[in-house]
Structure formats: structure tokens, C-alpha cells
Homo-oligomer: A and B are copies of this chain.
Amino acid sequence: MTGERRKFRHQGEERRRDSLIWATLDLVADGGPGSATVRAIAAKAGVSQGLIRHYFVSKDDLTRAAYHALMTKMTDDNLAVLEATPAQPEVRLAAFIAGSLRAPSVDARAMGLWAGFMTEVRSDPAMRTVHEETYLRYRSLLETLIAALPTAKPAVGAIAPAMLRGLAIACTALVDGLWLEGCALPNGFAPDELARIGVRSIGAILGHDLERHMTAPVSLPSEPEKISA
């Protein structure tokens, strides 16, 4: 009896690593770290389980790579949102905040990933470094946007650095908190309510009427809303 061995095709190292990483993230997002077993990852990526150890020295190595890829992608997405809104400072800031508080950023699966990796972030130094860098990059991005705002009171000049730091910490925290609440209670808020609360509250913290500069959420092209009634 010819043992029916699985057919396969050679693929570049990069594509295999990517598909394994993507499969890992998918599993962690859906069922937590416990469900991302070597066998499950291999099955989802459509390969045999041995291949994982051919591209990663251990499962922990794959986990670290997956977390790093996730964080890199999230940072890139944030920057991409900013590049698409080249306008006055208030509009940029409002768009950045609102973008972080609407779909697809606000998503139960995204929070599953966040929480799922948090445990290992605390114990693994490499993952901890990735986490800190990502957080600080987001905060410094926000800080840049805040610093670009016209000073409220006339002729006051730039905001003091220490003050700026505190404002950036507060605004980052507000976005994080609203993001978490939106992810954890998907049905707990009206459509776009979180984005509006976020923009309004950060406006209050910074002393600007940001809500006036807020743009409407972009409708997803996959969702066929009647354009011409």
C-alpha cells in the first residue's frame, strides 16, 4: 500500500514564515494563547507541524515573531492613517484619535490579541521591549500632533516639555481606555459614540474644540450602502 504522502510545493522562506505568523495571530485572537498550539498553527497554515521548527527555533520564537509582526503592523497602520490626512493640525489630531476608536481598530479580536500576548510580555524581555517601544512610539506620535496645535491663548508660544509629556500621557491613556471598552463591550455604545467622546474629551484636556474638526467615519467598501437613493 503506497502511503499517501501529502503533496506540497516549495515556497520561499519569507512566505512560509508569514503564513505561520498569520496563523498564530489568528488563533491567539480567536481562542487565546492556549489554543495556539503547534499542531493548530500548522493546520491553519496548511503545513505539517514539523515545518514550524524548520523556520523557527522553537514555538516561543514563533510567538515572539508573531507579536513583533503584529505590533509593527499596528504602528504602520497608525502612520498610514496620518499620511492620508494632510491638513490643519486640529483635523489631523481629531482624525488620528477617531481612527483609533472606530472599526477596524476597535475589534474584539484585536483585544484578544492584546490580552493574549500581555502575559508573555510581562515575563519575556524581548517581548517586553517590543511592547514598550510600540507604546512610546504611539505616545510620541500623539505628542507631535499636540505640539503642532496652535497655542490657545494668544502669543503664549510653545507648550512646555513637561506639560506636553503629561498631556500626551493623558491622551494616550484616554484612547487606550476607550479602545478597550469598545472592544470588550461591542454592543455597549452607540455607533461612533466612542470616537466622538474621545475627540471631545481630548479637546477638553488640550483646550481646543476638536469636535468641530472631526470627520465622518469612512464607510467600508464591502458594506454596500446605497450611494444614490
CB-nearest residue of chain B relative to A112?
B122
- Which residue of the partner chain, among B166, B176, B181, contacts A172 with CB atoms under 8 Å? B181
A150 interfacial contact with B, CB 8 Å: no
- Taken together as a complex, chains A and B put the C-alpha atoms of A79 and B194 apart, in Å, by 27
A185 interface neighbour in B34, B119, B135, B184, Cβ under 8 Å: B135
**Hey, which chain B residues are within 8 Å of A121, CB to CB?**
184
| Number of copies of this chain that the complex holds | 2
Contacts of A217 in B (CB 8 A): none
Against B, the Cβ 8 Å flags (1 = close, 0 = not) of A188-201 are 11000110111011
Out of B33, B172, B173, B178, which one reaches A119, CB within 8 Å? B33
A180 to B198, CA, bound (A): 17
Tell me the complex Cα distance, A112–B172, Å: 21
Contact with B along A157-169 (1 / 0, CB 8 A): 0000000001001
Nearest B residue to A188, CB-CB: B132
In the assembled complex, the Cα of A174 lies from the Cα of B179 at a distance in Å of 11
B31:A201 contact, CB within 8 angstroms: no
Residue contact B200 to A166, C-beta cutoff 8 Å: yes
Does A26 make an interface contact (CB < 8 A)?
Answer: no
Question: Do A34 and B31 have beta carbons less than 8 Å apart?
Answer: no
Q: Is A123 an interface residue (CB 8 A)?
A: yes
Of the candidates B115, B131, B189, which one forms a contact with A184 in the assembled complex, judged by CB atoms under 8 Å apart? B131
List the interface of chain A (C-beta within 8 A of B): 31-34, 108, 111-112, 115-116, 118-123, 131-132, 135, 166, 169-170, 172-178, 180-181, 184-185, 188-189, 193-194, 196-198, 200-201, 204-205, 207
Please list 23 pairs of residues, one from A and one from B, whose beta carbons are closer than 8 Å in the complex, sorted by A's number: A31-B123, A32-B123, A34-B119, A116-B119, A132-B188, A169-B193, A169-B194, A170-B178, A173-B173, A173-B177, A173-B180, A173-B198, A174-B174, A174-B177, A174-B201, A175-B177, A176-B176, A176-B177, A177-B178, A177-B180, A201-B205, A204-B204, A204-B207
